[in-house]
Amino acid sequence: MPDTPSASTLLTGYLDECRALVVEEIRRLVPADRPKAAFLYELMLEYPLREAKGLRPALCIATCRALGGTLEAALRPAAALELYHNAFLIHDDIEDESLLRRGRPTLHHLHGVPVAINVGDAMLALSLQPLLDNIGVIGLGPSLRILQTVTRMARESAEGQALELEWIRRGTWALEDEDYVHMVEQKTCWYSFITPVKVGAIAAGQEARRTEVLAEFARCLGITFQIQDDVLNLSGEPGAYGKELGGDLWEGKRTLMLLHMMRHASPEERAEAERILCLPRPSATLEPLLEGLVARGELTPSGREELRRAWAPPSPPLKEKTPEQVRFLLELIHRHGSLEYGRQVAREWLRRAERAFAECEAGFLPSVHRDLLQALLSYVLHRVK
Amino acid sequence: MPDTPSASTLLTGYLDECRALVVEEIRRLVPADRPKAAFLYELMLEYPLREAKGLRPALCIATCRALGGTLEAALRPAAALELYHNAFLIHDDIEDESLLRRGRPTLHHLHGVPVAINVGDAMLALSLQPLLDNIGVIGLGPSLRILQTVTRMARESAEGQALELEWIRRGTWALEDEDYVHMVEQKTCWYSFITPVKVGAIAAGQEARRTEVLAEFARCLGITFQIQDDVLNLSGEPGAYGKELGGDLWEGKRTLMLLHMMRHASPEERAEAERILCLPRPSATLEPLLEGLVARGELTPSGREELRRAWAPPSPPLKEKTPEQVRFLLELIHRHGSLEYGRQVAREWLRRAERAFAECEAGFLPSVHRDLLQALLSYVLHRVK
């Protein structure tokens, strides 16, 4: 299914519209009557207001409306999920020591780890409010089922995150593709795909049995999305301020491609790759951030020198990965055809998603909302970022 | 009201009993069927299983039962609050860079910041489950009011925490006692006192109007508790492995005593104190932790040397507080009678709590539960740790 211009136009327009509605809803949630906490609420808006695709709100709203539900029924839950997502990103960025998020410095790089942890916690707390407020719109029963789903989602995400951190901490490499898929299902699919779709269906008044078929569609869509995300991380051109190229390799993330390479590498290559992957990433990673600020004219070169002196990294207490070593890993991945393998597995998951979509299709009303869900099938694999 | 032996025995027994019930409930919540996430659930039990007073569960259960409610109605909400409390402690310990919690190393010192952030998030998620499970016991209406209260609690706590972090980050000293009280009300009272009492009352079937009087009792009790906590932090003898003496001064926490001292110090003293308080605490604070482990025989002296070499702190990039400077602050606090001032203000808040208790008293059944609430009035001021 090639990405036709019309599907792509529909997608962009629909996503933008949903995102605008949800951002408006999030702004409404932020209490205006708390002058003493104004700085907290400003920081809570920092990530949600940065440019983003808004995939989760669109999935939630499109599912609800394709099933005959109203925009009003889905809007507050969509805002809750977007808030939850942004809270998760803030904590995830600290855990992964990321420098940039949506083309700007991460929250903990701007305001320190203590403030960033607390802002994330505040957003998690605030994300419950629209779900409680929605009782008046969709009633008690569906609202409680949504609360149950969101509680489960939060648990699944934390379990997925724990699994990935544990693999990195323990230097675990004896992993099969299904271990990767299980982790992605918990860490990514539950909160980015399964829950938006389930919540949209519940808001539309669907029973539990029906939401399970939709959840399977969402799960396959999410796994395709994540494999493609990992492929792009390894193969994309490094933009001036965008995602760090090969960031996953620096972090030692277990991607399908890395696991494939490790299975096919020679014993010597494998031993060397394991040795490199266990090294921490350099702690002096402030550099690209400073470079980006200077390039954008947000920092003077002399200001950069001053910051470099103040933050002068100590000689590292442990050996760290070098760019040459990360390049070596990337070469191994190319040599063993692991990128092509990843793309192929992604295509298989997309076919499963298409079959699941076909199974749900009878329940959808012919509408732009149904078309959006279908357009996402093509999008998750063919997007370029 | 002196602390009579019988009140103290009642208190200890009651708290222990509630804690045991709640720990059992928390263990039940931890999924046994998730072998792939076993390490996550083990870490989620780490803080709850350490020795603790269990003030929040006791407050919740005693309030519910003193108002004629059942233990069953209050038990799950009490477990939810205890889980929430422990999640907050994990994140708080990272934010404050604390080394010890309940006599043992903090979670992030044991397992790193990424894991600790995620464990806290998982506990926040899990804490919603018992509130949803409780619908079958107390019904939909009261369960939703409890969810509303807990959502508000989480927001108030995050606002209080943000306020305190902001004061420290900006070096704000132009603060009155009422600013301190406002921060404590948000940061401590809401989740440690007001919410346990409100939730206990709702579980007992009380209407909103009635819970407000109880909330005032809880608020005054909580402010007394926190002032006394700050007094103990400045005046207690340093135990072998307990809380770090004067930890609040190292952190630059705005306590009532510090604010009083700053108001009464000479301009020179004040300038010097401000200069010291703005310095970061030393980053080489691994030392007391290592000392404690060696003293308890959990680490060999040669193991300590190895750890010291691996974690060799760099020469600090910024000037840090020295023990002499912290001692200077402590001397100023003694010189200006600030500890005595703090104790006096705590007594005033206790009297307000007593008056609020007297106003609620007619609603309480004569019972051990009512007696426990009364015993807490004495306890919050006369406890020694």
Which pTM was predicted?
0.85
**H helix intervals, chain A:** 5-29, 38-49, 55-66, 71-95, 107-111, 113-126, 129-133, 135-138, 140-170, 177-184, 195-203, 208-235, 247-251, 256-264, 267-278, 286-295, 301-310, 323-335, 338-360, 368-382
In the predicted structure, residue A385 carries a pLDDT above the cut 70: no
A88 assigned to some structural domain: yes
| Chain B residues with CB-CB distance to A314 below 8 A | 313-315
What pLDDT is attached to residue B200? 98
**H helix intervals, chain B:** 5-29, 38-49, 55-66, 71-95, 107-111, 113-126, 129-133, 135-138, 140-170, 177-184, 195-203, 208-235, 247-251, 256-264, 267-278, 286-295, 301-310, 323-335, 338-360, 368-382
Residue of B nearest to A91 (CA): B117
| Chain A residues with CB-CB distance to B29 below 8 A | none
In the predicted structure, residue A198 carries a pLDDT above the cut 70: yes
**Minimum distance, in Å, between the CA of residue B52 and any CA atom of chain A:** 24
| Chain A residues with CB-CB distance to B144 below 8 A | 132, 135, 140
B201 assigned to some structural domain: yes
Question: Which among A110, A358, A92, A102 is positioned nearest to A216, based on CA atoms?
Answer: A358
What pLDDT is attached to residue B217? 97
* Contact in structure between A94 and B108 (CB atoms under 8 Å): no
A231 assigned to some structural domain: no
B163 to each of A36, A68, A197, B153, B347, how far by Cα in Å?
7, 45, 37, 15, 25
Q: Which two tokens stand for residue B332?
A: 């100023």
Cβ–Cβ of A118/B165 closer than 8 Å? yes
More confident residue, A25 or B38: A25
pLDDT tens by residue, A316-358: 445 778 888 888 999 999 999 999 999 999 999 999 999 999 9
* Distance, CA of B382 to CA of B320 (rounded, Å): 35
Counting the structural domains of chain A, the total is: 1
* Distance, CA of A282 to CA of A272 (rounded, Å): 18
* Distance, CA of B189 to CA of B185 (rounded, Å): 5
- Mean of pLDDT values over A43-67: 94
Cβ neighbours for B130, distance < 8 A, ≥ 6 positions apart: B25, B29, B76, B77, B79, B80, B83
* Contact in structure between B21 and B75 (CB atoms under 8 Å): yes
pLDDT by residue for chain B (385 residues), tens only, comes to 444 557 788 898 999 999 999 999 999 988 767 777 888 989 999 999 998 889 999 999 999 999 999 999 999 999 999 999 999 999 999 988 887 888 888 899 888 899 999 999 999 999 999 999 999 999 999 999 999 999 999 999 999 999 998 888 888 888 999 999 999 999 999 999 999 999 999 999 998 888 899 999 999 999 999 999 999 988 865 443 334 567 788 888 899 999 999 999 999 999 999 999 888 776 544 555 556 566 666 666 766 665 555 444 444 445 678 888 888 999 999 999 999 999 999 999 999 999 999 999 889 999 999 999 999 999 998 876 6
B169 assigned to some structural domain: yes
Question: Which among A176, A182, A325, A348 is positioned nearest to A259, based on CA atoms?
Answer: A176
* Distance, CA of A192 to CA of A208 (rounded, Å): 19
* Distance, CA of A346 to CA of B82 (rounded, Å): 43
Cβ–Cβ of A94/B112 closer than 8 Å? no
What pLDDT is attached to residue A322? 81
Which of A117, A147, A314 is facing B132, going by the closest CB pair?
A147
**Minimum distance, in Å, between the CA of residue A371 and any CA atom of chain B:** 34
pLDDT tens by residue, A210-252: 889 999 999 999 999 999 999 998 886 544 333 456 778 888 8
What pLDDT is attached to residue A34? 75
pLDDT tens by residue, A268-311: 999 999 999 888 776 544 555 556 566 666 666 766 665 555 44
A318 assigned to some structural domain: no
Cβ–Cβ of B91/A117 closer than 8 Å? yes
Cβ–Cβ of B118/A162 closer than 8 Å? yes
Cβ–Cβ of B124/A128 closer than 8 Å? no
Cβ–Cβ of A118/B318 closer than 8 Å? no
Q: Which two tokens stand for residue B115?
A: 């894991």
Q: DSSP per residue over B113-159, as a string? A: HHHHHHHHHHHHHHTTHHHHHTHHHH-HHHHHHHHHHHHHHHHHHHH
B100 DSSP β-pair partners? B105
What pLDDT is attached to residue A296? 66
Domain harbouring B197, CATH code: 1.10.600.10
Radius of gyration of chain B (CA): 22
Percent of chain A with pLDDT over 70: 85
What pLDDT is attached to residue B371? 95
What pLDDT is attached to residue B128? 93
- Mean of pLDDT values over A115-123: 95
B370 assigned to some structural domain: yes
What pLDDT is attached to residue B356? 95
* Distance, CA of A299 to CA of B4 (rounded, Å): 65
B181 assigned to some structural domain: yes
Give the mutation candidate from B45, B96, B118, B135 for the A interface (greatest A CB count, under 10 A).
B118
Query: What angle separates helix B338-360 from helix B208-235, to the nearest 10 degrees?
Result: 160
B167 assigned to some structural domain: yes
Cβ–Cβ of A154/B124 closer than 8 Å? yes
Query: What angle separates helix B338-360 from helix B323-335, to the nearest 10 degrees?
Result: 70
Domain with A221, as residue range(s), is 5-225+350-382
| Chain A residues with CB-CB distance to B126 below 8 A | 155
